[in-house]
Structure 1
Amino acid sequence: MEGTVALTELSTALPAGQLSSLGEAQVGRYLGTDWEFVYRNGDYLLRGMAVTIVLTLTSILVGFLAGFPAGALEAYGSGYSRAFVRKVGVLLRGTPILVIMLFTYFVLPIEVVLGAAEFGLRSVEFVLGPAPVTVPTDVPDAFVAATIALGFRSAAYQSQIFRGALGSIDEGQMEAARSIGMGRLEAIRHVIVPQALRRSVPGFQNEFTIVLKDTSIAFAIGLGELLKRSHDLFTQQTTAVLEVILFISLLYFVLTFGTNRTLDYVSNRFAIPGESS
């Protein structure tokens, strides 16, 4: 109790900057100067973690928006559309993500991509009304390139997840839907797709984790995500390489563990009744 009172009095007596210095001194005293260096630059690394989280979310969203229609085309499309989607998927899955990212950053015209995205959003607004989001104009080119690379590579894998989920639905479901007067597209939309989305959660969970870890590849094009910022730090103090790596490994573990536990809950919450999750 006395120690708590003393600590409270100390915190009220010292300004925030001196409290921070006191914390650094304690870390340096018990763990060494290298961990003190990591502690002092913790905010810098946490901002990199924020970039990693946003990059993961945007890439997964792009992958879903492109991957789900691609999976549906592979499951129900005609010969030409199915063959085209399959060939593009094989190309993306067979190309290293680093090569794809370098291509999108150094070859792909980012301004044209942003212009096309803004035009598409305005078209949607014209048809459906004001959209809840706008295309930002100050996004770094490296972030856009990394999102495109990770998103479309993820789409190639997500398409297979959704194709398998759609194919796993018993044909009797389609026949039952058609027998009560639904058209083919109505049956797919209202009967097949809801069940397939639920069955695809475990595979989607794995893909989400892979994309999260693959964001570190954006280091190659200079994006200031978690790995890039850690590299910036241990080039300043080379004796703290191990400590910085251990700290960012802990951050990656927290992110992947939290993501897996969240998606486990989603999988259990929306599992098809009667099926084991």
Structure 2
Amino acid sequence: MEGLVALTELAAALPTGQLLPVSEEQVGQYLGEDWEFVYRNSDYLLWGTVVTILLTLTSILLGFLAGFPAGAIEAYGSGYSRAFVRKFGVLLRGTPILVIMIFTYFVLPIEIVLDAAQFGLRSIEYVLGPTPFTVPTDVPDAFIAATIALGFRSAAYQSQIFRGALGSIDEGQMEAARSIGMSRLSAIRHVIVPQAMRRSVPGFQNEFTIVLKDTSIAFAIGLGELLKRSHDLFTQQTTAVLEVILFISLIYFVLTFGTNRTLDYVSNRFAIPGESS
């Protein structure tokens, strides 16, 4: 209640029609020295938010690119490929993300990974023609390691989301597609997958939120995301620990709330007609 009163007094003290920008002196006067310290360093924290968002997007994309084929293999693959994908997924899901991230940063040769990615991209361009994608070479190793760790761990979970979605499509859909002359692969591609993708949105929404929050684990390898930068601040001014944590908690809440509302819209927009989202 006292904080609300202080915010009200601060707003009332501003010139009419002007709520921003608020000066550091006004924040310090009404909210205290610690909130003034947070306000003064808000740009530093917001740049950490940018890193968090980028890490989330790259990780979830890598997880999708690896997880969807893995889910399809588990649903329709042969015995050996299915067993390999299943065991690898169990290994990733059963290993703490902190252990995976430390392994990718301190053990995995990042340069070899980048070379492999460049080779893969050149191979795709050789087959399909020029693409707008490039493999950056100036990205910090910590960011790449965190993306690999979060991405493949997410792929292990996304594979189960997509496997379940593929398995939820009635077998009659496949039989109907085959009866009109479609091959098994064409039926999966044009009939089963579009419906499974729609049904997987709620599970994907949950996974997206988990990856967003798990980006904070990158603090362990020194990546300057939101939690790492908040730690940098409250070690400078130890009395502002609570204020910094409250500020970044608000940022995480805004990110997760916005993500959930966006994916709720996507789920409702692309839901299979006649099915409840």
TM-score of the alignment, normalized to the shorter chain, above 0.5: yes
Residue identity matched to 1:64:
F
Q: What per-residue deviation string (whole Å, max 9, x for no partner) do you get for residues 86-109 of structure 1?
A: 000000000000000000000000
Aligned-CA RMSD value: 1.9
Tell me how many residue pairs correspond in the alignment: 266
Residue identity matched to 2:194:
P
Residue identity matched to 2:78:
S
Q: Equivalent residue for 2:232?
A: 232
Q: What per-residue deviation string (whole Å, max 9, x for no partner) do you get for residues 146-177 of structure 1?
A: 00000000000000000000000000000000
Q: For residues 17-56 of structure 1, what are the structure 2 equivalents within 5 Å?
A: 23-56=23-56
Residue identity matched to 2:212:
L
Residue identity matched to 1:255:
L
Q: Which runs of 5 or more residues in structure 1 are unaligned?
A: 1-5, 11-18
Q: Equivalent residue for 1:207?
A: 207
**Which of structure 1's runs of 4+ aligned residues deviate more than 6 A?**
none
Distance 1:62 1:219 in 2: 20
Residue identity matched to 1:217:
I
Q: CA deviation at 1:124?
A: 1.1
Residue identity matched to 1:221:
I
Q: What per-residue deviation string (whole Å, max 9, x for no partner) do you get for residues 25-84 of structure 1?
A: 000000000000000000000000000000000000000000000000000001000000
What SS does the corresponding residue of 2:59 show, helix, strand or coil? Answer: helix
Q: CA deviation at 1:7?
A: 4.3
Residue identity matched to 1:45:
L
Identity of aligned residues (%): 89
Q: For residues 156-235 of structure 1, what are the structure 2 equivalents within 5 Å?
A: 156-235=156-235
Distance 2:99 2:77 in 1: 30
Distance 1:128 1:26 in 2: 59
Distance 1:63 1:274 in 2: 30
Distance 1:129 1:38 in 2: 49
Q: Which runs of 5 or more residues in structure 2 are unaligned?
A: 1-13
Distance 1:125 1:192 in 2: 28
Residue identity matched to 1:36:
E
Residue identity matched to 1:57:
L
Q: Equivalent residue for 1:130?
A: 130
Q: CA deviation at 1:129?
A: 1.6
Residue identity matched to 1:184:
R
Residue identity matched to 2:142:
A
Q: Equivalent residue for 2:114?
A: 114
Q: Equivalent residue for 1:91?
A: 91
